Amino acid sequence: MNQVEAQSRDGLWVLLKLEHLKTQTMGAGLDEEETEYTGTSVGDCRLTVRADDKIDPSRLISLFRAEIKRTRGAVPAAMQPFYVYGLVVFEWEDRGQSDDDSLLSSLKELVTISDLRRSVVAPQ
């Protein structure tokens, strides 16, 4: 598990935590009704993003989805953001060996150059 902190251009904090999830590999059993588990292997990645509650999660989702697709070749699913807690979770299938530090570094760079504060709509 790797973790990095970043601050957006407009001064809001973001914490990124990348972890690899283990998946079970199944093989054929002795007869048609049996399934045999042959072991576990790393298969999926999860990026958990904790952010200041003033950040617009839709901006994070669009920025991070594009960057993960560019660097990892997979479009991540994004769990519905928890607005109250400032939490967004991304998951995708890992398609081979890749450098976690470079992904976190590029995501941190995206945060530092972006304005992520929610837009305030004036009452009418």
- How many whole angstroms from its chain centre is CA 75? 10
Highest averaged pLDDT of the listed ranges 26-30, 46-50, 56-60: 46-50
At residue 119, the pLDDT reads 79
81 CB neighbour count, 10 Å cutoff: 19
Digit-coded pLDDT (tens) for 50-77: 999 888 888 889 999 999 999 988 899 9
- What is the value of pTM for the model shown? 0.76
Asked which of 15-19, 41-45, 100-104 is least confident by mean pLDDT, the reply is 41-45
Digit-coded pLDDT (tens) for 72-112: 888 999 987 776 678 999 999 987 667 889 999 999 999 99
Determine the residue type at 23.
T
Domains and CATH numbers, the chain: 2-17+46-112 (3.30.1360)
pLDDT band at residue 27 using 50, 70 and 90 as cut-offs: low
